Amino acid sequence: MHSYDLTQWVLFFFIYSFIGWVWESCYVSLRKRRWVNRGFMHGPMLPLYGSGALVVLVSTIGVRDNVVLIFVLGMSAATILEYFTGAVMESLFHVRYWDYSSQKLNLKGYICVTSSLCWGCFSVLLVRVVHLPIEAAVLRLPSAAATWISMILAVTAAVDLTQSFNEAMDMRRLLAQLEESKKQIRKMQDKLRVTTEEVREDYRKYLQERSEKKLTRRKAYLERINMKRIETQDLLSDLYERTDQLLREELPSKVNSLIGEERRADLLTLKQNIKEELRKMSSRTDRGYLRVAEHLRRNPTAVSERFKEALEEIRRIMGG
């Protein structure tokens, strides 16, 4: 195998990142029956494929003529890369951008035997077929041109990665807020034994009526977000009124007793918690929800153990 310089390795990374993006986007789009710009980043690249191609090329140096060794070494290197990439991303964002938990012989959902075998086949295809014309094309590039192209691509990718990273962190913060809000509301519901079935039924009827009108996907999503806000506000307001009523009407006769004082303290704390939840809810903007929706559309297989309920709620509101 030819000895490449740094610029050529960079070009290989972006070429295979683009090829991986084409493959993933077409595959997911066919399954979803609509175009999906697949990947963590906005631009047409999937760094995992670019990195995977590079580790395969590096790990198979010296065994280019041995198909079995290419398969074994390439599969091993790419599988290790996929595992650590998945683990690091979930550690950072608390969201799993791919999940093999439903596959047999998987390891924590990050890798599985089927995926590893695919990496092995990809390694043979890459080294023996795909890389040959790409290698020839890159080696023919003048050194100055290759340097400029790699620099432009690197800067563009860095800007894209920064924006995508910020979006993922925004989604993590929003999911954390939603998850915490759900826990607090659940505690308040249990304490006051309040049911919301009538409110939910009104909400479903409203959505059904709105669905009969021709709304754009963006407007429909924002309408559902707004209705969710109204539903939660009504729930919190009802909890607040019931708490206040208990304080004003039912507890005064017991105010001098120890039990009465303890209950009053509990209810005052509950009122403060409700007010805090209302404040948090008002701070969540439509723009934040839209950015999260766009991020999830590009990553339809993302799952999260930590924010499971909040993520499922966002997907229900998105309508998919």
Phi, psi dihedral angles at 212 (to 5 degrees): -75, -15
Percent of the chain with pLDDT over 90: 12
Q: What is the rounded average pLDDT for all residues in the chain?
A: 79
What is the distance between the alpha carbons of residues 287 and 121, in angstroms, rounded to a whole number?
43
Identify the bridge partners of residue 257 per DSSP, sorted by sequence position.
none
According to the model, what pLDDT value does residue 117 have?
A: 92
Residue 46 vs residues 14, 18, 37, 242, 277: alpha-carbon distances, Å: 9, 6, 10, 52, 38
**Is the per-residue pLDDT at 58 higher than 80?**
yes
> What is the value of pTM for the model shown?
0.62
Name the more confident of 254 and 226: 226
According to the model, what pLDDT value does residue 240 have?
A: 75
Question: Helices 143-192 and 67-93, interaxial angle, to 10°?
Answer: 50
DSSP string, 64-129: TT-HHHHHHHHHHHHHHHHHHHHHHHHHHHS-BSS--TTSTTEETTTEEHHHHHHHHHHHHHIIII
User: What would the pLDDT profile of 238-278 be if each residue is shown by its tens digit?
Assistant: 777 777 776 666 555 555 454 456 667 777 777 788 777 77
**Is the per-residue pLDDT at 45 higher than 80?**
yes
Query: Residue 10 CB: number of other CB atoms within 10 A?
Result: 22
**Is the per-residue pLDDT at 214 higher than 50?**
no
Q: Structure tokens of 197?
A: 């079935």
User: What would the pLDDT profile of 186-201 be if each residue is shown by its tens digit?
Assistant: 777 666 665 556 555 6
Cα-only R_g, the chain: 27
**Band of the pLDDT at 166, cuts 50, 70, 90?**
confident
**Band of the pLDDT at 227, cuts 50, 70, 90?**
confident
Summarize the confidence of residues 286-297 as an average pLDDT. Answer: 76
Name the more confident of 273 and 135: 135
According to the model, what pLDDT value does residue 193 have?
A: 60
Least confident of 175-179, 210-214, 264-268, 315-319: 210-214
| 55 within 8 A of 49, measured Cβ to Cβ | no
Summarize the confidence of residues 124-138 as an average pLDDT. Answer: 90
> Of 22, 11, 17, 89, which is closest to residue 48 (Cα–Cα)?
17
**Band of the pLDDT at 208, cuts 50, 70, 90?**
low
Domain ranges across the chain: 6-141, 172-318
> Of 212, 14, 197, which is closest to residue 22 (Cα–Cα)?
14
Task: Identify the burial level of 50 via C-beta atoms within 10 angstroms of its C-beta, where 0-12 means exposed, 13-18 middle and 19 or more buried.
Answer: buried
Name the more confident of 244 and 12: 12
According to the model, what pLDDT value does residue 258 have?
A: 47
Name the more confident of 21 and 190: 21
Least confident of 38-52, 72-86, 185-199, 303-317: 185-199
**Band of the pLDDT at 211, cuts 50, 70, 90?**
low
**Is the per-residue pLDDT at 74 higher than 60?**
yes
| 77 within 8 A of 48, measured Cβ to Cβ | no
Summarize the confidence of residues 86-111 as an average pLDDT. Answer: 83
Name the more confident of 49 and 279: 49
Summarize the confidence of residues 87-103 as an average pLDDT. Answer: 81
Identify the bridge partners of residue 303 per DSSP, sorted by sequence position.
96
